[in-house]
Amino acid sequence: MNPASSTAVPTGIAPEHLSDPDAERIRALIDHVCGHGAADILRAALPPGVPDAVVDMVSRHCRFDHAALLVFPERLGDLLDRLPHWGLRTTEVVPSTVVRNRIAERLGLRAESVEVHIVRCALPGDGVAACEGRNLELFAVAPVPGADFARLRAEERARNGETHFAFRVVEPTPVTLLDLHDLLVSRDEVLRDGGGFNPHEDTFVLYFRSTGEPASDRWPRRLEILATGSYPEVLRRHAASNPAAGRAGSPPREDLPREDTTQEDPPREDPTREMLHLVTGAWVTQAIGVAARLGLADHLGDGSRSVTDLAEVAGAEPDRLGRLLRLLAGHGVVRAEADGHYRLTERGALLRTDRDGSLAALADLYSGLFFTSYLGLEHTVRTGEDAFTRVHGRESFEYFAEHPDEARLFREAMAFGTIVFDAVPAALDLPPAATVVDVGGGDGELLLRVLRDHPTARGVLFERGHVVDAARELLAASAGGDRCDPVVGDFFTDPLPGGGDLYLLARILHDWADPECLVVLRALARAMPVDARLAIVERPIVEACGSVLPLRFDIQMMTNARGRERTVAEYRALLAEGGFELLDLRPLPLDMAVLTARPRPAQG
């Protein structure tokens, strides 16, 4: 336990209030909550060695909410009487239904014969600043005669299986929750551990449990993510089978108690309304694109502005701009305030050009050049020829070579992938002093992240000449760039660098049809040592997850390039034909994933 925690809570606790195991557990949990910063509590709830990037992303979007503990007082009143001695102020006591039913099932009893209350408590501080604003939730189970209850109580007091540390998403959106979910489960050691929506409290909950030993403070590595509102798509993703489950060496999932939440089915919409939402989706795309080109997010910044003021700085007609803003507010891009001003939401802030991971260029591209390509979608479906060529007269790569302004916009749009790149290093297994070869690695953004996360690794960036020339400046100015050697070449025609331990192929295969992909894969198979690994960063179609985003990008690749998104089975078959064996798939944010493969031994 943190030595500083001995002074973390108010003193003056009478000895008789520390005489039973639950009192000691409550005191220890208070010490833990008050003796650690939120980031340290989060880190202790995650697997050992979790990268800083994971902790930073969760901390960026969440604040610590509470810690939970299952306790067994003789009477509820006894527990409530004791709470002030620990500096706890009771804020709410409510009956529990779900926890009661679960405990009754474990005891083989009727639910009516078990009594469970949720006691919500606040730590007001009283001179201890670290405690202020922090909360505990105590699940108080009344005694039930019998050996089974005694066994349950002993197990819980020994293992603290119900204990979890809850973090609340400050500005929840489906995108934010999906990204947080995918980032957490991208770690093999993190298992999905249930979740749900409580309509009575308008609270959405996801649980995660980490494998391995408890944290040094004896608390299990169990994390709860809370959000206001209902997010059925996120819950469907969370309910999908865990990639870590069933693997050799993975411990079986235990059916431990969970927070008192209930699941409600999402309301069914009228089919006509649903279809109208679909067929008018292009209007929303154009509205967001216009907002990006007008620079509305940059003009709003961190503040709020009236429509008239915003129209003046953006060069727009006030009435029309007001109607555009009203639509954007209906889709959560901006928020209308009581005085008629508008302010960016977390979603809308993604259109700011001064933010890492900005989607402003992507919105411009997808509502402009690539949008017009969809006028040729019917031609593509009928003939198999790509729509971009039909509409613009050139294949996309040729077009960009002839139009530098659009090429620059395309590069800026693709920079949004850094959101995914931040999570890639944690999904890679690298030996010490490894050599990482990034094939077609662009300006080196992904490779630099890997090198920063693995200080003893060296990198090789394999790209065409004009791309390498542009990458040298970034490499020279970045930490880890001195450990990266640029190599000029074309992966379709030139030999690939040999001797690497890990080869990266990030967002390359989806650009091309199978024959072109096989040229690259076979070149890799020839260059890679037999014990090397290939890490492919793509957006596989995983039907079990229920997400339509990969399906949309599949149509995008069909319309604006010669490529496609592929199912996991299609990647497995493509890799096998190219000389590789698919080993693993680890999820990343935004439905992306790292697919790990190894060269197949030569036959005969």
pLDDT tens digits for range 77-108: 888 888 888 778 888 888 876 667 778 877 88
Which of the residue ranges 53-67, 94-108, 248-262 has the most confident prediction, judged by mean pLDDT? 53-67
Residue 265 falls within a domain, yes or no?
Answer: no
Classify residue 268: in a domain, yes or no.
Answer: no
What domain count does the chain have?
Answer: 3
Q: Tell whether 448 is covered by a domain.
A: yes
Average pLDDT on 36-50 reads 84
Dihedral sign, Cα of residue 324, residue 326, residue 330, residue 333 = positive
On whether both 477 and 380 belong to a single domain, the answer is no
Listed in sequence order, the residues at least 6 apart from 60 whose beta carbon sits closer than 8 Å to its beta carbon are none
35 in a structural domain: yes
Average pLDDT over residues 106-116: 84
Check pLDDT > 90 for residue 178.
no
Residue 26 has pLDDT above 50, yes or no: yes
pTM score: 0.59
Structural domain includes residue 245: no
Q: Which of 57-66, 109-118, 336-345, 572-581 has the highest mean predicted lDDT (pLDDT)?
A: 572-581
* pLDDT, tens digit (0-9, with 9 covering 90-100), for 191-238: 888 888 777 677 888 988 887 677 666 788 889 999 988 888 888 888
Question: Are residue 402 and residue 436 in the same domain, yes or no?
Answer: no
Contact call for residues 322 and 307 (beta carbons, < 8 A): yes
pLDDT of 260 above 60: no
Average pLDDT over residues 433-446: 93
Looking at the fold, whether 331 and 423 belong to one and the same domain comes out as no
What CATH number does the domain containing 233 carry? 3.10.180.10
- Contact 97/199 with Cβ under 8 angstroms? no
Q: Is the pLDDT of residue 5 over 80?
A: no
In a domain, residue 489? The reply is yes
The 8-class DSSP code of residue 375 comes to G
Q: In this structure, is residue 263 part of a structural domain?
A: no
DSSP 48-97: TT--HHHHHHHHHHEEEEEEEEEE--SSHHHHHHHGGGGT-EEEEEEE-S
76 versus 381: the higher-pLDDT residue is 381
CATH of the domain at 471: 3.40.50.150
Tell me the residue range of the domain where 164 lies.
3-239
Q: Are residues 86 and 165 in the same domain?
A: yes
CA atoms within 13 A on the CB side of 236: 13
- Identify any residues that bridge with 138 across adjacent strands, giving them in sequence order: 69, 119
Same domain, 492 and 563: yes
Token pair for 484:
């990266």
- What pLDDT does residue 571 have? 95
Q: Between residues 2 and 316, which one has the greater pLDDT?
A: 316
Beta carbons within 8 Å of 126's beta carbon, 6+ residues apart: 10, 87
Task: Count Cα atoms within 13 angstroms, Cβ side, for 303.
Answer: 5
Residues serving a catalytic function are 510
> How far apart are alpha carbons 541 and 538 in whole angstroms?
10
Report the candidate in 476, 484, 479, 429 with the shortest Cα–Cα distance to residue 594: 429
pLDDT digits (tens, 9 = 90+) for 512-553: 999 999 999 999 999 999 999 999 999 998 754 456 888 999
Judgement on whether residues 283 and 346 belong to the same structural domain of the protein:
yes
pLDDT tens for 472-481 read 888 888 888 8
Is residue 299 predicted with pLDDT exceeding 80? yes
Whether residue 288 sits in one domain with residue 225: no
Q: What is the pLDDT of residue 215?
A: 62
- Say whether pLDDT at 283 is over 80: yes
Residue-by-residue DSSP string for 170-193: SS--HHHHHHHHHHHHTSTTEEEE
Query: What are 317-330's pLDDT values in tens digits?
Result: 999 999 999 999 88
Strand 334-336 and strand 203-210: the pairing is unpaired
Task: For residue 578, tell me if it sits in a domain.
Answer: yes
Distance between CA atoms of 153 and 151, rounded to whole angstroms? 5
Judge if 183 and 304 occupy the same domain: no
Between β-strands 134-141 and 62-71, what pairing exists: parallel, antiparallel or unpaired?
Answer: parallel
Would the pLDDT of 51 be above 60?
yes
Per-residue pLDDT at 558 exceeds 90: yes
Does residue 357 sit in the same domain as residue 476? no
Are residues 386 and 420 located together in one domain of the fold?
no
Does 364 share its domain with 487? no
pLDDT at residue 227 in the model: 92
Give the residue from 379, 413, 447 where a domain finishes.
Answer: 413
**Residue 131 clears pLDDT 90, i.e. is over it:** no
pLDDT of residue 132: 64
Listed residues 388, 413, 438: the one ending a domain: 413
Domain termination site, one of 364, 380, 413:
413
Same domain? For 385 and 435 the reply is no
